[in-house]
Chains A and B, each alone.
Chain A
Amino acid sequence: MKKNNEKRNLISIEVLGLILGLLWISPFYLMLVNAFKTKRDIFSGVLGLPEEWITENFVEAFIDLEFLKSLFNSTLVTGLSVAIIILFSSMAGYALARNKSKLSGFMFFTFVAAMLIPFQSVMIPLVALFGQVDMLNAGGLIFMYLGFGCSLSIFLYHGAMTGVSKSMDEAAIIDGANRFQLFWFIIFPLLKPISVTVGILNVIWIWNDYLLPSLVLSESNATIPLKMFFFFGQYTKQWHLALAGLTIAIIPVIIGYFFAQKQIIQGVSEGAVK
């Protein structure tokens, strides 16, 4: 009797979960279905299926978004930024963890405390400064991402270093390795799990960032979110095109999520809980 009760309970939770799940994906469903409609079809109703499934909206949006170009720009900026964040933050996390002096502790504290500063509090002088030295371009943007991204990354690497025994260092030094060889060939490979986490967290953030690129990049080398903003402004009240553009813009993310779902959820969980 009790067992039955519990089973019924579980089924009702499952049903509740599925209803919520459907509710959760409904915005994506509505976006997708209406992206296949003509303008007139959308005007006569957005709740039903298209009278006729058309693909012209996608073609037009793809061209207007200059999608391949914005995809390339996004990939370049995100890829390079995340690569240098991993490179330099891992080195710093290692150095700070292996030096127990007061100075080292103070620097670590400074990096962590910098996380408190919201972007808007530094954005105006930052843009002015980079404008004066003519660095409001993709190179400058990547450097800015290093500055904004290194705090959390150093924090995570520093934490992971507690799991790497100091005897590793000593053995390598006795064998005649210098600090760089020691770090790159012995320590860095051991930090691979945390590097995956650091990489995922920074990719999600940088890929989707809108405000910083909007202040730094011109329209000709816009990333996907920036291009999307211009595109959407151009097609207000033309939902058939706007929705097709939005669908295209999220496809790379969905593909990435599909292939790396487990690592993404684990990485996000680790990044938040630590």
Chain B
Amino acid sequence: MKNKSLAFWLFLTPVILGLGIVVVIPFIYGFIYSFTDWNGIRATAFIGLENYISLFQEDEFMNSIWFTTKFAFVAVILLNIFGLGLALIVTRNLKSSSLLRTVFFMPNLIGGLILGFIWQFIFISVFGDIGNLTGIEGFNGWLSTANTGFWGIVILTCWQMAGYIMIIYIAYLENIPKDLIEAAKIDGASAFQRFKNITFPLVAPAFTISMFLTLSMAFKIYDQNLSLTNGGPANQTQMVAMEIVNTAFSDNDMAYAQAKAVIFFLIVSVVALTQVYYNKKREVEM
């Protein structure tokens, strides 16, 4: 197919229109609008960096960035530990292997909104009852403080996503030649040595993928945040994505919200690109 061929362009027209109208044009317009006083319908003046200056002075927005960063850091570590751990369990020759895969992966298929509602019940009612029954104070009042809200979203995310990360690790673990492990066993390598010297290096590419996926996912979380804590108490558990949605559609502050959205894009891309760059470099060195 040549550039000039009509078929080439006919084959591409629908997706060019789709991506162009839905992503590229709004992205460019959004960037321009963020320097104006756009109210969603029209913009009357360029106001330069005013939106950007005020967002860096806004406590609520800066708090949401800090909260999201903290969350992403914790979630990435825990998700990869759980994902790899579960994968190591279900790739052993167990009677329940396939049943366990099914169970661990199941939450992933259900939307974050619905799962967040289910966990609201768990954290409030079930935890409350466990607290009353055992007399342990730590079970009471979940989601009513910023700290328990934070860990609530972390637990929900780990429960939902660990099965997904598990699937990625399984794909790599199952590609490890069995005779390599057997040979190491015969040579007297301990289980830990086998993991460190054979399994770990061979699943290293899975780390690249999982870290990239979990990190970008953690930064973009919205549904779980909305249904579990709705940002409360007092917007202390509000993540960046929700902050932008609320600024735009509750406060109707469109240009200002768009400036936040541009910053959000920059953060997400820098994180993602750095991640890919470093992991590629490390893989080559190994």
Contacts and interface: CB of A to CB of B under 8 A. Distances in A.
Interface of A: 10, 13-14, 16-18, 20-21, 24-25, 27-28, 30-31, 34, 42, 45-47, 84, 87-89, 91-92, 94-96, 98-99, 101, 103-104, 107, 110-111, 114, 116-126, 128-129, 132, 143-144, 146-148, 150-151, 154, 178-180, 183, 204, 207-211, 215, 225, 228-229, 232, 239, 242-243, 246, 249-250, 253-254, 256-257, 261, 264-265, 268-269, 272-273
Contacts of A261: 102
A121 B18 contact: no
A253 B115 CA distance: 13
B109 A125 contact: no
A13 B95 CA distance: 11
Nearest to B94: A14
A47 B126 contact: yes
18 contacts: A14-B92, A14-B96, A17-B100, A20-B100, A20-B104, A27-B159, A92-B15, A110-B19, A114-B24, A120-B244, A123-B261, A125-B26, A180-B7, A208-B114, A210-B226, A246-B117, A265-B105, A269-B170
B22 A146 contact: yes
Contacts of B25: 125, 129
Nearest to A211: B222
A228 B113 contact: yes
Nearest to B266: A121
A118 B111 contact: no
Interface residues of B, number: 91
B176 interface: no
A10 B93 contact: yes
Contact of A125 (B33, B92, B102, B105): B33
Contact of B113 (A101, A150, A229): A229
Given A88-B14, A124-B248, A242-B117, A148 B23 contact: yes
A225 B129 contact: no
- Majority SS at the chain B contact face: helix
Interface in B62-114: 86, 89-90, 92-96, 99-114
Contacts, number: 260
B194 interface: no
A256 B5 CA distance: 42
A43 B217 CA distance: 36
B94 to A, nearest CB: 5
Contact of A126 (B12, B26, B170, B257): B26
B22 A144 contact: yes
Residue with the greatest number of chain A CB neighbours at <10 A, chosen from B19, B30, B102, B107: B19
B29 A121 contact: no
B284 interface: no
B140 interface: no
A209 B23 contact: no
Contacts of A265: 101, 105, 167
Given A95-B1, A120-B261, A125-B25, 13 more contacts: A17-B94, A27-B119, A46-B121, A46-B126, A91-B15, A116-B273, A143-B18, A144-B22, A146-B15, A179-B7, A183-B11, A210-B112, A272-B168
A111 B264 CA distance: 20
Given A116-B269, A125-B258, A229-B113, A21 B100 contact: yes
A150 B12 CA distance: 11
Contacts of B281: none
B118 A147 contact: no
B109 A257 contact: yes
Interface string B116-151: 011101100110011001000000000000000000
B114 A249 contact: yes
B211 interface: no
Nearest to B103: A21
A127 to B, nearest CB: 8
A17 B23 contact: no
A21 B96 contact: yes
A98 B12 CA distance: 12
A114 to B, nearest CB: 5
Residue with the greatest number of chain B CB neighbours at <10 A, chosen from A10, A107, A126: A126
A179 B103 CA distance: 45
Given A47-B133, A211-B245, A242-B117, A121 B15 contact: no
B113 A210 contact: yes
A239 B40 contact: no
A98 B245 CA distance: 41
B241 A120 contact: yes
A154 B15 contact: yes
Contacts of B102: 257, 261
A120 B122 contact: no
Contact of A122 (B23, B96, B209, B269): B23
A125 B203 CA distance: 41
